[in-house]
Amino acid sequence: MTIEKLTFLLSIVAALCIFQSVAVLADTPISQANATVFGKNVYVFDPGMSSADIQRTASDIFRKMETNQFGADRYALLFKPGTYNVDFNVGFYTQVAGLGLNPDDVQINGGINVNAKWDPHGNALCNFWRALENYTVTPAGGTTRIAVSQAAPIRRLHIKGNLELFDFGPGGNAGYASGGFLADSIIDGNVVPGSQQQWMSRNSHWAHWSSAVWNTVFVGCDNAPSGQFPDPAYTVVDRTPIIREKPYLYIDAKGGYNVFVPSMRRNSLGVSWANGSTPGESIPLDRFYIARPETATAAALNAALAAGKNVLFTPGVYFLDDTVHVTRPDTILLGLGVPSLTATTGKPIISVADVGGVKIAGLILDAGPVDSPELLQIGPTGSHADHSANPTFLYDLSVRTGGPAAGENDIGVEINSSDVVVDQIWVWRADHGDGVGWTVNPTRSGLLVNGDNVIVYGLFIEHHEGYQTLWNGNGGRVYMYQSEMPYDVPDQSSWMSGKTYGYASYMVGENVTRHEAWGVGVYCYFRDSPVRANSAIEAPSSPGIKFHHLTTIWLDGQPGSEITHIINNLGAPVSSHANNKMRQTLSEYP
C-alpha cells in the first residue's frame, strides 16, 4: 500500500471518528441529566440533548411544583454552556441556572418564565421560593414574564427583550405582586413592573423602567428612572457602597465543576460582567462537601466543616438535631435547588464565629417544634472584631416560622458581628399554611442587629409578634425595607410595647447614633382585632440617623385598626376611617 493510499484511508477513519463523536454529542440521552454527583433532583442539561426532552422534563417538574407551596420537593435545573430551544415555566422550590462563567455562555431561545395562572385572579402574591440565575434568554414574543413576590431572586440574567414583573388575571386585569429582587442583570428592552407593589433592583441595566406602585428602590443601577417621591415612588441611590455578587456553580472548559466567588466591589455602578468576565476566584468542587438530605446530618456537616471543607447543599429538606457551626474564615455554605434546613431540637440552625469572609447563600431556614433562641446567628454575643476588609455576606435567605408546619423561635436572624452585608433576605412568620396562629408559631422579632456597620440590600420581614427589626449596632444601612405587621393580633392588650400601642416595625435602639435607610415601607392588615400601632418606625433623634422615602399602607383590616404615625409620632394615620388615607408618605426624616 502506498503512503498516499494509507494517508487517504487514515483520513477517512479520522473523519468517521469525528462524525461519530459529533453524532454522540448531538444525541446525549436525557437520562444523563440527573445522573451527576449532585443527586437525582439536580438536572444538568447539555446542548446535545433533545430540546423536546429538556422541554418535557422541565414542564413535568413545573406541573408538579406549580402549586406545591409547602411541599418537600426541591429541584435545580442547570444548563451547560451552549444554545437551547426551550420554553417553560418555573414553579416553587426550583432553581434554574446557567453553568457558564458568564450569562452569555448559556443561550435560551424561547423562554423561562414565572406566571401566576394557578391563582384565579392572576395574583403572584404567593409566588415565593424559586431562583433564576446566570443565563441569557431571547424570549419568544419579545417578553419574559417573571411574576414573583418575596424570596424569588433574579440574578445575572441577560434578557434580550422586555421583562414583565406581574401577570394578568381574567379579563386582562393585572394581578397583584408583592416584592422582588433583581441584581447584576441586563434587560435589553423595557421593564414593566405593572402591579408590583414594591421592588428592589441593584447593579442592573435596562432600556427603560416604566412605573412604580408604593416602594421601588434602585441601588447602583446605571439607567435608573427619575422622578420625585412619592409619585412616582422611586428611591434612587447612585452607587452600591460595597458588594460581592453571590457565588455560583459553573463548569470549566475541561468539564470540571467549580464554585466561582466574585470579587468585592466598592462604590459600584452597573453589572459585574459589563466589560468581560466577572472578576473573582474559582474554587474546585473537591473543596466542597456535597450534602444530600438523606445522609447529611448535623454531625456529618460539622465534621466536614472541621476538616476545612465548604458545603454545597443539594435539593431537599434537611432535619438537623444540632447547630451547624462555621468557625473558619471564608467558609461557603451554598444551596442548590432552594434546599431547606429545619431545626428539630430547639437549637440554632447555623452559628458563625466572629470571623470574616463567610458566604451563606440560597437556603431556607425553618423553625422546628421546639423553641429556638435564633435560627441564624452571625457572631456570638459580644463580637467586636473589625471585618471591614473581608465582610461576611448573606444572600437569598428565607427564614420561616410556620408554613410547612408549626414552629417557634425567639429571633429569626441575629447579627452580632460587624461589617456583615446581607443581599436579599425574607424573614417570615407565616400568615398562611400549616402551623399558623398567635400561639402556634410565635416569634418575637425577625432581625436583631447588634454589630456595627451592617448593610442590607432588600430586607423583607413580616408578621413577627414584637419588633420586626431591632437594630442596636451603629453605622447600619438598609436599602429597601418591606414589612407587614402581624395579621393575627388577638387584642390590643396582647400587643403593647410597654405603654405604647403596638410595636414599631423598624426599631433603632436608643444608644445608636448613626443609622440610615432608604425606601422604607411598612404595611398593616389587622385582620382579627381593631388594634393600633403608634408608629411604623421608631428611632433616636440624632443628626446621624436619617430615613429617606417612608411609606405606610393600610392594606385592610378591622374598622378602627390603624398605623397612627409613620416615624416617632410624625405623620398622619393610615386606616379605614373616612378622614384618613390608606397610604401616607414622608420624604425625609429628620
- Say which DSSP state 560 is in: T
Angle CA 559–561–567, to nearest 5: 150
Which SS3 state, helix, strand or coil, does residue 278 take? coil
Pairwise CA distance, residues 90 & 108, whole Å: 14
Catalytic annotation present for 465: no
Class of residue 417 by CB neighbours under 10 A (exposed 0-12, middle 13-18, buried 19+)? buried
Side chain identity at residue 1, one-letter code:
M
Q: How many CB atoms lie within 10 A of CB 12?
A: 10
Among 133, 484, 538, 562, the active-site one is 484
Pairwise CA distance, residues 575 & 115, whole Å: 32
Residues 354, 378 contacting (CB under 8 angstroms)? no
- Of 202, 207, 216, give the one whose Cα is nearest residue 270: 202
Side chain identity at residue 65, one-letter code:
M
Pairing outcome for strands 421-429 and 455-462: parallel
Using only C-alpha atoms, what is the Rg of the chain? Answer: 24
Q: How many CB atoms lie within 10 A of CB 433?
A: 16
Q: How many CA atoms lie within 13 A of 127 on its CB side?
A: 35
Strand-pairing partners, residue 270, are none
- Of 533, 482, 480, 544, give the one whose Cα is nearest residue 508: 544
Residues 517, 478 contacting (CB under 8 angstroms)? yes
Strand-pairing partners, residue 552, are 522, 584
354: which 3 cell numbers? 466572629
Catalytic residue numbers, as ranges: 484
